[in-house]
Every structure is written in C-alpha cells, then in structure tokens.
Amino acid sequence: MALQHAEDDEDSSRLQKFRDFLESATESTIFATRWLLAPVFLGLCLALLGVVVNFVVQLAHQIPEFPGMTLDELATSILNLIDLALLGNLLLIVIFSGYENFVSKIDPAKDHEDRPAWMGTLDFSGLKIKILGSVVAISLIELLQDFIRASGHGEGEFKPELEIWRVALHLTFIVSGTLFAIMDYVAEKRVLVMAAFEKEHGDNPELLELVGIEPDQDVDDADDAHDAADAARAADDAAGADDAARAAAPGAGPGLGSGRGSGRGSGSESGQ
C-alpha cells in the first residue's frame, strides 16, 4: 500500500514538472515573439534615411534659387523643409519609444549624455499623443502651403474642393488628439484617486460610513464626496473667521462676539 502511494506521488511529481516545463516554454516563446517587431523598427530606420536624403536633395535644389525667390516662394520652400523635418521627428519618436516599449531597452543610450529626456518615460499613451501632435503639425504645414498657393504664389494648383477635405481632415486630427488627451487624463486621475483613497481609508466600512460614502460606491463619486467635504470645512472655517472679525470690530459686544467665535471654532475643530 505504501509502495502504491509512493508511485502515485512520483507520477504526480513528474506530471507537475511536465506542466511547469510546458508553461515555462510557452511563456518564454510568447515573450520572445516581441523580437518579431525588431525588423519593423529597422525598416523605419531605412524610412528615416529616405527622409534625410529627400531633405538634402530639396535643400540642394532650392539653395541656388533663394536669391531670386519672393517672400511667399521662400516661405513655401521653407515649409517643405519643415514638413520633412517634422516627419523625421515623428519617425524617430516611433522608433525609439516603440522599440523600448515593446521590444527591449536600448542599453547603449542608458548613460549616454545625448540621450533624449523623453526616452524611457514615454509610455504608449504618451506615444499616441506625440504622434497625433506631429500629424497635426504636418497637416498644418500642408494647409499653409495651400493657402500660399491660393494667393497666387508657390508651385502647384489650388483646388478649393480638395481644400475643404483637407481642412476637415485637419480638424478631425485636432479633435482626435483632444479626445485622446482627455481620456488619458481621466484614466490617470482615476488611478491616482483610487490609490490615494485606498491608502487613506482602505476597505474599512466604518470610515466609509463616517465620510458618507457607500462601501460599493464608485471611486469618482468618492472623490466628489471628499471635495464636497473639503468645501464644507472651508466654508465653516471662513464663517468662524468672519465671526472673529466681527467680535474684534468696535462696538461689538465682547460676550456675544466671543461666544459665537469660540463656539464656531470648537465646532469646526470637532468636525475635523
């Protein structure tokens, strides 16, 4: 009988070891799939090289023409170069932040003096906001170029029906960026409120009842309740200060003024 139990325990131990090995191998394989994105970021590096080449070609082509350009033509040429520079910045942000967020840390840049300040601190939400900000800036540059063409300067033909769609698209980018920023702000505030609330009160139902919050009440409602309580305490303190000022004023009855001020002050202290 004891031998049978020993064999069963050995079989169970082998089965558990196999399950642990299978789980570890599966999780290691899944975690290693992040390296499938490495060629994508290398491809974006080649795209960045293409942007640089295009910038150099346009600059070399426009430099000899600068002396004979009008102000509007010069502005159009500079806007083209700024457009390429913004596109390069956008690619660089996506390459650095995307690689560090989803693949691996960039060790050579860890202690480098030229390491950008936002590297390692820009999460996925911040990356979305920066991308949308760059897209809005690029769209604005395109609109400025179109308006210069509309004034009769610059290269290309101005098409009003196409410009309507460009303005609508630009406004869509702005609204999308604003909504993303609001959603990130609300999510971050909710996390901070939840952390502060748990740290201060925990799950003690007596404390929740003391401040007038139901145990299953939402954290945002709890935050509003705390704001209302703070406002009530501030109003009480202001009323106490007002009574004290009246008591100190000439002609005020010392007994009445002192009684009101001290009574209000003691009530405020006990409320706190």
Query: Which of 3-12, 51-60, 210-219, 228-237 has the highest mean predicted lDDT (pLDDT)?
Result: 51-60
**Whole-number percent of the chain with pLDDT over 90:** 17
Q: Which of 264, 215, 222 is nearest to 241 (CA)?
A: 264
- In the numeric block, the tokens 């505030």 are attached to 189
**Residue range(s) defining the domain that contains residue 86:** 2-133+148-156
Three-class SS state of 260 = helix
Is residue 96 within 8 Å of residue 116, measured between CB atoms? yes
Q: Decide: 65 and 80 in contact? Cβ < 8 Å.
A: no
Q: Judging by beta carbons within 10 Å of its beta carbon (0-12, 13-18, 19+), is residue 236 exposed, middle or buried?
A: middle
Q: Residue 187 CA to chain centroid, in angstroms?
A: 9
Residue 127 sits in the same domain as residue 239: no
Please tell me whether residues 152 and 211 are part of one structural domain. no
Lowest mean pLDDT among 150-164, 200-214, 227-241: 200-214
Angle of CA points 122, 126, 132, to nearest 5°: 130
Pick from 121, 156, 191: which residue ends a domain? 156
For position 254, what pLDDT does the model report?
42
Answer whether residue 22 is part of any domain.
yes
Interatomic CA distance for residues 182 and 185, integer angstroms? 5
> pTM for the complete prediction?
0.56
Q: Do residue 7 and residue 106 come from a single domain?
A: yes
In the predicted structure, residue 162 carries a pLDDT above the cut 70: yes
What burial letters (b/e) apply to 151-175, b meaning 16+ CB within 10 Å? Answer: eebbeeeeeeeeeeeeeeebeebee
